[in-house]
Amino acid sequence: MDTSVADPLVGRVLDGRYRIESRIARGGMATVYVARDIRLDRTVAIKVMHAGLASDEDFVARFIGEAKAAAALSHPNVVAVYDQRTDGEHVFLVMEYVAGHTLRDALTAVGRLGPRAAMEIMMPVLAALGAAHRAGLVHRDVKPENVLINEDGQVKVADFGLARAETASKMTKTGVIIGTVGYLSPEQVLSGSADARSDVYAAGVMLFELLTGELPHRGDTPLAVAYKHVNETVPPPSGVVPGIPPQVDALVTDATNHDPGRRPVDANQYHAEVAEAFGGLPRDFDRRMEEASRGATSVLEAPPADGRTAVLDRSTLPAEYPERTRADRAIGALTGRYALIAIAAIAALILGWAVWYQTSGQYEHVPSSIIGMDVDDARDQLESAGLDVRLATPIYDDRIHKGDVVKSDPPAGARLAQGEPVTLTPSKGITPREVPDVKGKPLAEAKQILEDDGFKVGRTTSTPSQTVAKDSVIGTEPQAGQKQSPDDPVAVIVSTGMSMPDLIGQNGDAAANRLRSMGLNVKVQKKKVDGKEPNSVIDQAPAEGTGVSRGDEVTIVVNKRDCLVDAGPIQLGCDDGSEKIVPVPNVVGRTVRDAEKALKESGFEVNVTGFGGNIVRFQSPSEGEAPRGSTVTIVRGP
């Protein structure tokens, strides 16, 4: 059914500029249309708020503020917000139109994705969220429906900040949970509060869904699902799809930790962790995993038995004893009478020994000092006394050292006959306790924290990390939060610092986002090289493996694309000889420093005027588009 025919807005021109052409989606707070900007002659998307929300003054005020913040985001993986307008009862946003489909559509079509394919989607999503988090903006509604994929395969995230406007509306009813319940963090369910770590939680849930094709928590009602988010942890995806590697499981479980303090601090850190895991998997990992899941079960042949039943040959048995001679019989007669005397004496001795044996000789005592004795020493002592020693399953005990005897059965001091069993129970050591979280701590401080908690520090290994500073702790084995006896050593893994990753051949946008997430200043150069993949990295400086620190400037050279959209916010026409036109970000209300950064990242020169103050009060041009490289003037004021 064509819903556009019955929609009264289709065919109307809003604000004298935007002609509504068709309706493409309807959600809980707005309806989205395809429209034509008749002033700039371009296709745009128009999001019109529902009348009930548009009549709420608090909502409209918050909505306008959030729209301005979202419009200031200049990132290739963010759906650009061009304008915010009001036409009578209609409050609406003008946004970039993305021709393509949603991630939900793609997931529905394929069921689930392999680990590399899932992370390849997540990296641009996290890059977009990371840009928002750096600007102090929280999305609050991360889900596949808000991830768009254009016809060229570029990923873009939509609806930044709008959930916050709806949450702040005075029309929100007590007890109503705002947001998509399948992706809500525990703190959103319990208090309604959200920060960058709440977006990270939702991203972790989305990664679980991409890997398994299903949400981790399901229920008959939204309230039942929300209850599970608060009371149940998100399981590792390998429990649903065998073969998913542990480092990918950890991406999900770390991001969805119930304690926000144990999640990545924002999408930038999470992006770096995902990129590091992605780089550690072979390029054909997904194909090999899929082939393994379809492989037939192998049947192993049993080897021939070596042991056989032995059959004795009678010819090998001893011959009959020889007949006794006369001399033998004579010696036997002479010795017989002496033998009788000896036998009588021996019988008396045996009778005395039997009385002693029945009263005490046949019994031994379990040593009273056996508790706390080394198990091997206790075994030797008991076995030398003729007792049968058995070992029970070791148990934890806070008083007895690991490897010593906790208890015996019969107990210490008990009397028992020789040959009777004694069962010894060894100690496994002190009762396990949670290993403290020392990630990010300097090595010396981390060791002190572990020792203060009663743990022994074991081996220390080093490895590069894109997320943890040099000489700081990446993690422990066992991991923080897991339980281990303090009698067992805790291994510590220390970072050797960041190193420049190998980016040659990777997508230029993804490579730039990865470097920005590492805190590096990225310079992107364009160069046309035949025979190379368009928009792929063809050179980098510094080279792979070179040590880098946050704030360093790095350069990647990207092969020019033969398409209408190039790297950067938006560029029309990639012909080298044509002038490139890009949107002008609205920076009014931002600090001068932030405004200059946003404008320069979009390709503009900046002229700062005015006296006093550090807030941008006016800019020219203030909206629309301008040639890349042209000058934007901003006026500062108090």
Is the Cβ–Cβ distance between 602 and 576 less than 8 Å? no
Quote the tokens at residue 294: 């379809």
Cα separation, 320 vs 322, whole angstroms: 6
In 3D, which of 449, 453, 495, 451 has the Cα closest to residue 471? 495
Q: One of 56, 141, 266, 487 is an active-site residue; which one? A: 141
Bridge partners, residue 608, by sequence = 634
Using alpha carbons, select from 605, 635, 610 the residue that is nearest to residue 620: 635
CA 582, CA 579: separation in Å to the nearest integer?
10
**Known catalytic membership, residue 37:** no
pLDDT at 473 over 60: yes
Higher local confidence (pLDDT), 326 or 158: 158
State which CATH number among 1.10.510.10, 3.90.226.10, 1.20.1530.20, 3.40.50.300 fits the domain covering 102-153+173-286.
1.10.510.10
CB atoms within 10 A of CB 441: 18
- Return the pLDDT at 36: 95
- Top-confidence residue, 601 or 359: 601
Mean pLDDT for all residues in the chain: 80
Q: For 150-168, what is the mean pLDDT?
A: 70
Q: pTM higher than 0.85, yes or no?
A: no
* DSSP type of residue 571: -
Q: Where are the beta strands (DSSP E) in 415-456?
A: 415-417, 421-429, 433-434
Return the CATH number of the domain spanning residue range 13-96: 3.30.200.20
The values of phi and psi at residue 297, to 5°, are -75, 130
Q: Which of 20-34, 393-407, 410-424 has the lowest mean pLDDT?
A: 410-424
Nearest 5°: the CA angle 573, 579, 585 is 85
522-579 per-position pLDDT tens digit? 899 998 888 788 888 999 999 998 888 778 899 999 988 765 545 554 554 554 433 4
* H or E stretch at 502: none
Stretch 49-69: mean pLDDT, rounded? 77
Give the domain 363-429 fold.
Answer: Trypsin Inhibitor V; Chain A (3.30.10)
When mean pLDDT is compared over 3-12, 256-265, 456-465, 567-576, the highest value belongs to 256-265
Looking at domain 433-499, which CATH architecture does it have? 2-Layer Sandwich (3.30)
Q: Looking at residues 26-55, what average pLDDT do you find?
A: 87
Q: Which two tokens stand for residue 572?
A: 């029309």
pLDDT tens digits, residue range 261-309? 999 999 999 998 998 899 889 988 999 998 887 763 333 232 333 333 2
How far is the C-alpha of 209 from the C-alpha of 113, rounded, in Å? 9
pLDDT tens track for 494-517: 988 888 889 998 888 778 877 876
Classify domain 579-638 by CATH number. Answer: 3.30.10.20
Give the whole-angstrom CA distance, residue 344 versus residue 350: 10
Which pLDDT does position 303 carry in this prediction? 31
Judge whether 13-96 and 363-429 match in fold: no
| Mean pLDDT, rounded, for 461-475 | 84
Which region among 49-53, 368-372, 399-403 has the lowest average model confidence (pLDDT)? 368-372
**CA 472 – CA 444 distance, rounded (Å):** 9
Q: Residue 62 pLDDT more than 80? A: no
Q: For the chain, which residues make up each domain, given as ranges?
A: 13-96, 102-153+173-286, 363-429, 433-499, 579-638
Cα separation values, 58 from 5, 71, 169, 429, Å = 33, 20, 6, 61
By mean pLDDT, which of 9-13, 166-170, 411-415 is the weakest?
166-170
175: pLDDT strictly greater than 70: no
